Amino acid sequence: MRSALADNNRKMWRMIDDEKALRNAIAHDIRSPLSILRGYQEMLLEFVSAESIKTEDVIDILQTGMYQIDRIEHFTENMRKMSHLEQRELQCSEIELSELAKKIEAEAAMLSRKESKLCKVERAQEQNIVKVDEELVMEVIDNLLENAVRYAQKSIALQIKKKDGFLIISVEDDGIGFVDTEEKVTEPFYHKNPQDDLKHFGLGMYISRIFCEKHGGNLKIYNARQGGAYVEALFKAE
């Protein structure tokens, strides 16, 4: 009883911390494209009024502005997704582990080929049934694969297995690894590389952690011994 209460308290404080981090991150990430848009609008007002700007320069500015608008649209779409994270109900069904592994392999092959990276998949040979929310599992795997492909130098390795009632999927890359703690990496809007926020809003790891926890598991993050990042997603599968 006491242990369950302590666990609930930890979860509650984690949620409060996440909400604070989310509010701060939203304010930071939305400010960047808005500031750029404002700067370009002020430039256009000044130079167009003075008739001292070339047409091609105006087009360049407008194209850059459209890129920032795209960023804001992606941002608002991510906000919509995040607002439904906690409300999402699990839809678990039984599936052969080998069948699920085939789907994961196909996804991994497509994503790695797209970025000209090698991908090796290892899976348990024994026949196992897992009871999971397949859509949720695949969304987590997509997030982890996209992250690995982005940072891998040449290759990615996946391992898929069932152990002690859990579906365990690990993704390893040969990049530089994680420079921050597990808690930092799984915060909303975490950016491993400052350049990431030009294209990515750093939600993948955060969403993956939330989904793993919702599925009775967790997300473990390490640096591999030989270098590179190693992420293990666990889902209760019984």
Say how far apart CA 221 and CA 184 lie, in whole Å.
Answer: 11
> What's residue 185's pLDDT?
47
> What's residue 8's pLDDT?
53
Q: Per-residue pLDDT tens for 202-212?
A: 577 888 888 89
- Per mean pLDDT, which of 32-41, 138-147, 172-181 is the most reliable? 138-147
Half-sphere exposure of 148 (CA within 13 A, CB side): 36
pLDDT band at 87 (very low <50, low <70, confident <90, very high): confident
Whether pLDDT at 61 is above 90: no
pLDDT band at 189 (very low <50, low <70, confident <90, very high): very low
Domain with CATH 1.10.287 in the chain: 2-83
How much of the chain exceeds pLDDT 70, in percent?
74
Which range, of 31-35, 103-107, 173-177, 230-234, averages the lowest pLDDT? Answer: 31-35
Q: What is the mean pLDDT of residues 76-85?
A: 70
The amino acid at 206? Y
Domain with CATH 3.30.565.10 in the chain: 93-236
Tell me the CATH architecture of domain 93-236: 2-Layer Sandwich (3.30)
Q: Per-residue pLDDT tens for 214-227?
A: 999 999 988 877 77
Q: Does domain 2-83 have CATH number 1.10.287?
A: yes
CA distances from 175 to 43, 61, 159, 180 (A): 40, 35, 18, 14
> What's residue 39's pLDDT?
86
